[in-house]
Amino acid sequence: MGEKKIYILFTATGSWLTKLIQLYTRKTYNHVSLSFDEQLNETYSFGRKKAHNPFIGGFVREKIAEGLFKKATCEVYSYTISETEYNQMKQKVQYFEAMKDLYRYNFIGLFAIIFNYDLKRKNAFFCSQFVATILNEKKHVIDKSPNLCTPQDLMDVEQLQLVYQGPLNAYPYQDINEETLETLLELRPWNPILYNSHDFINSPYV
């Protein structure tokens, strides 16, 4: 069996919930997601299901060029695992996705962390709890209960390799389609000026 890589995405979206969590953690990044490809096309976590309603949350497949991620800052790390571990993690995520209507966001669990209380709730996860649960398919990755795991605990996992740090909309490995390109050009203040060929044909200077 060969080796495979998974990718762990840490983000700061600037949402009020992120800022509230930051008051306790004193850390920059308070949302974490798991991806199975370098382009971050297959990126999963627990978060809001509707961009403008933080109270409706659960298992989500995230798109890094949409919603709150448009203006997010991030750090992306790769983690090398065996092909068997990769397949086990992916199968577990696929189970979450197939049963996503049963899962909800674990708001209560966030407060339990403050009191260091290992709260076990059925079918309820917050982002770092979910990622820790998936990573536990590889033994001895995290030395604490996923119910108490914070994004910083995941960032401290040994053998993580930094892939990228900066604005998420500038992530260099993402797939650029026409819609994504338009979004990037709108967001970046250093946008180039794009011309059509007929602009030059009709120019009196050509």
- What are the pLDDT tens digits along the chain (206 aa)? 699 999 999 999 877 666 667 666 778 898 999 999 999 999 999 998 876 666 789 999 999 988 889 889 999 999 999 999 999 999 999 999 999 999 999 999 988 998 999 999 999 999 999 999 999 999 889 989 999 999 999 999 999 999 999 999 999 998 765 555 555 455 454 444 443 434 434 443 33
What is the C-alpha separation between 108 and 125, in angstroms, rounded? 10
- The confidence score (pLDDT) of residue 49 equals 83
- The confidence score (pLDDT) of residue 4 equals 97
- The confidence score (pLDDT) of residue 55 equals 72
Quick check: helix, strand or coil at residue 147? helix
Q: Residue 124 corresponds to which amino acid? A: A
- The confidence score (pLDDT) of residue 198 equals 42
- The confidence score (pLDDT) of residue 179 equals 54
- The confidence score (pLDDT) of residue 194 equals 42
Q: How many CB atoms lie within 10 A of CB 152?
A: 16
φ and ψ at residue 98, rounded to 5 degrees = -65, -30
pTM (two decimals):
0.82
- The confidence score (pLDDT) of residue 202 equals 43
Tell me, rounded to whole angstroms, the distance of Cα 62 from its chain centroid. Answer: 7
- The confidence score (pLDDT) of residue 195 equals 39
Domains of the chain: 3-201 (3.90.1720.10)
- The confidence score (pLDDT) of residue 206 equals 37
Angle 127-135/83-98 helices, nearest 10 degrees? 140
What is the C-alpha separation between 177 and 71, in angstroms, rounded? 18
Taking Cα atoms as reference points, which of 128, 132, 127, 134 lies closest to residue 142? 132
What is the C-alpha separation between 64 and 56, in angstroms, rounded? 19
